[in-house]
Structure 1
Amino acid sequence: MRENPLGRTTVRVSELAFGAAGIGNLFTEVSDDQAAQAVAAAWDAGVRYFDTAPHYGLGLSERRLGAALRERPRDAYVLSTKVGRILEPTPGAHGDDLADGFAVPAAHRRRWDFSAEGVRRSIEDSLNRLGLDRIDIAYLHDPDDHAEQALDQAYPELERLRAEGILGAIGVGMNQAELPARFVRDTDIDAVLLAGRYSLLDQRGLAELLPLAAERGVGVVVGGVFNSGLLADPKPGATFDYATAPGELIDRALQLKAVCERHGVPLRAAALRFPFGHPAVASVLVGTRSAAEAVDAAEMLNHRIPQALWAELRERGLLPIGVPTPGEVE
């Protein structure tokens, strides 16, 4: 699988990234064996970039990912995790974490913390769960309501950790494009993980963030290319942006699917390849919870897409005229 430099850094990421929320029991349980098999299948398919976070399963994702990668050469893969939520033990707690989306016991609670002390503690805790001594990329995770603390305290602490060699690169990961653009303007951030805002259905990232990232040499990893499922399988009841998709969006996704099918291309393949039309994009991240999903994502990313498909999408008004599209992949 092709690897790309992450912006101006020395970090190189595979074009397909393994999103590890699923192996943190996102919505439903996954066994330890299934999690290990998912990581192994992704590795066999050429994936060398793996993304996790303390938030995912209250640390379960980090523990499982670290275990699955333990026998792999450390210099052969890139791993990212995130800061901003501290996990505090809750002795004697009952129930589960499904209110926050994860089918795990509520043995910890999350505490927002973008202070310098909180960031350093978060990284130390993540290293312990992962069983590693360094992290390739650390993202500020969803600082939407904590922008000033993240800019004034968390980011400088990540710079110190990077200078100490504990981190390779600093990023911000969000479901919006506006605040990441501020980080790109006001800091020397290395990367942006942009979820759901640069897809076949939603190009809000193109308004400011992506051109600014390209200008500043900031690498972009695009997540949420299926927009919560609508572009994976468009049908009534499908979800978009974590909610039931409105009828007009379902109709648009079905039109996209019809054009793709005329060119012999699965919609999933076009959705995965589309972000690479922009020069700032280094990788696409797909949430993966099974070996079958890992194999499918790699096959879809490598599917040949003719230029005529992108041309027809423009002609039919399903992509704006000015949106860049990828070159042909053989």
Structure 2
Amino acid sequence: MEMTLRPIGATGLQVTPICVGTSPLSNMPGLYGYEVAAEAATATITKALDGPINFLDTSNNYGAGRAETLIGEVLRRRGGVPSGFVLATKVDADAATGEFDGERVRRSVEESLSRLGVDHVELMYLHDPEAHLTFDQAMADDGPVAALAELRDQGILGHVGVAMGELDMLGQFVRTGVFEVALNHNRYTLLDRGAESLIEEACERGIAFVNAAPYGGGILAKGPEAQPKYAYRQASDAVLQAVRGMQEVCSRHDVPLQAAALQFSLRDPRIASTVVGVSDPSRIDETLAFASADIPEDVWSELASLAPTANLWGAVV
């Protein structure tokens, strides 16, 4: 697959259809089941910056700031963010107190800028507000959304987005007119089409949709025997059965399941970019190979027939 640039909504930014996700580089074995050494992480970041992908996603709280710190080390060695490269990060609630008001947003941005060694970030997301706030609290005059908008007006942030898993609240944020990008994870995959209506609404409003976790946290990459969780939770019997069926279809057509899971997102023109978490440099090459794999058209109809029904989509996460 050619890395033809796609617009991120009305931001003016152009990005590759694949975005390198750095959550695995933050060394969270409790979440991912493996550790990532600092040397491997910096080598992965370096390879990501060398292209052909021009979009990298991180967050203030990935590994208590470890991911941003390692990215910053590489950027300093290279003299800053490469021209044409889009670096996105996220504001997070205070890890100790759960505080997520406007003041916390300003501190989170300061922390990220310091770790990354930059004075400006092109794209900053509000991250997982549903874990700490109601929608009304998020939209209060002294809340996180107002603070993000103010920092954008000041030029410290280029553009603002919202990144979260819960669809109903994400839809509320999309309708505010404040956000330019909506990022959702695990709700538009081979297994779960729950984000379908939200994608449509975002596109109608000129808001970019970024799709994260096309492998559902690993089950669509490693298979249900190696990774029986979907979206970091134990998968239901219906999901496990669906993945086994999808494995059989892909095996019969000599198609890697990972390629089908990734291309399900990449082939949708409504999706500006798909975030794929990587844990070492070889995973970037592997991801590019999966993106380019030849998949017969018949495979897509077979896979669609195996997906859990719509009434189960909300139950898989």
Asked if Structure 1 and Structure 2 have the same fold, meaning a TM-score greater than 0.5 normalized by the shorter chain, the answer is: yes
- The whole-number CA distance in structure 1 between the counterparts of 2:265 and 2:100 is 30
Pairs within 5 Å for 1:1-330: 1-27=3-29, 28-70=34-76, 71=78, 73-86=81-94, 109-144=95-130, 145-146=132-133, 147-152=135-140, 153-206=143-196, 208-236=197-225, 238-314=228-304, 316-318=305-307
Deviations 1:279-318 (CA, angstroms, capped at 9, x unpaired): 331111111111122221121122222322213334x454
Secondary structure of the residue aligned to 2:200 is helix
Residue 131 of structure 1 and its aligned partner are, at CA, apart by 0.4
Q: Which runs of 5+ in 2 are unaligned?
A: 311-317
| Equivalent residue, structure 2, for 1:94 | none
Once the two structures are TM-superposed, the CA of residue 198 in structure 1 deviates from its matched residue by 0.5
Query: Offset at 1:272?
Result: 0.8
Question: CA deviation digits over 1:155-179, x for unaligned, max 9?
Answer: 1221121122211211111112211
Contiguous gaps of at least 5 residues in structure 1: 87-108, 322-330
Superposed displacement of residue 210, structure 1: 0.8
Amino acid at match of 1:307: E
Q: TM-score normalized by structure 2?
A: 0.87
| Offset at residue 186 of structure 1 (A) | 2.0
CA distance in 1, matches of 2:158, 2:190: 31
The structure with the greater share of residues assigned to strand is 1
Secondary structure at the counterpart of residue 122 of structure 1: helix
The separation in 2 between residues aligned to 1:110 and 1:139, in whole angstroms, is 20
Aligned residues: 297
> CA 1:277/1:296 → structure 2, altered by over 3 Å: closer, same or farther?
closer
Q: Which amino acid aligns with 1:39?
A: I
Percent of residue pairs bearing the same amino acid type = 33
User: Alpha-carbon deviation of 1:73?
Assistant: 4.6
Are residues 310 and 291 of structure 1, via their aligned partners in 2, closer, same or farther at CA, if it must alter by over 3 Å?
same
Give the RMSD, CA atoms, in angstroms. Answer: 2.0
CA positional deviation for 1:181 = 0.8
1:32 Cα deviation (Å)?
Answer: 2.2
Once the two structures are TM-superposed, the CA of residue 320 in structure 1 deviates from its matched residue by 7.4
